[in-house]
Amino acid sequence: MTEPYRTGLAPCPNCGRELRIDAERLRCDGCGGTMLGYPEVRESLGIPREGRLVWVDGKLGRRKCPRCTAHMLVTCIRLTSTKVLSDLTLDRCETDGVWFDRNELSKLIAAPRS
Ligand SMILES: [Zn+2]
Ligand SMILES: [Zn+2]
């Protein structure tokens, strides 16, 4: 039998494959998903420590956090006081960070910030 959790992580919440640890990120080679901690999310978006990063949380979703296996919150990110990126629905663990499906992070980085 193969050991399914060699990394000590739960499988990809999207496709169920084993995740790969890449510095502070988790990556899935199967579907292209990635999980970032909150400091990394800020860094990727160019938001300073004191900058505005507001999560607009919905319900707990079906997906589980690969680090702690708690169900993740379905969430939207609000980058300014007025703009909610409601077209981009993400999954986040309050403790561990945010799961981005393939292309979601690049869409967020490219989103208008005014
Ligand atoms: Zn995957
Ligand atoms: Zn977690």
Chunked in runs of 10, what are the mean pLDDT values of the chain (114 residues)?
63 96 94 95 84 87 96 88 74 96 92 69
For the chain, how long is the longest CA-to-CA vector? 53
pTM of the model: 0.87
19 CA from centroid of ligand 1 (Å):
7
Residue 14 domain-assigned (yes or no): no
Residue 9 lies in a domain: no
Ligand 2 centre to CA of 45 (Å) is 21
* 8 assigned to some structural domain: no
Instruction: Using the mean position of ligand 2's atoms as its centre, give its distance from the Cα of residue 27 in Å.
Output: 15
Does residue 4 form part of some domain?
A: no
Domain count for the chain, please give it.
1
Q: Could you say which ligand is closest to the alpha carbon of residue 66?
A: 2
Domain that residue 27 falls in:
20-110
State the Cα angle at 10 between 37 and 38, rounded to 5°: 5
Domain assignment of residue 10, yes or no: no
Question: Is 7 part of a structural domain of the chain?
Answer: no
State how far the Cα of 84 lies from the Cα of 91, in Å rounded to an integer.
15
Which ligand lies nearest to the CA atom of residue 29 in the structure?
A: 1
- Structural domain includes residue 77: yes
**Does a structural domain hold residue 104?**
yes
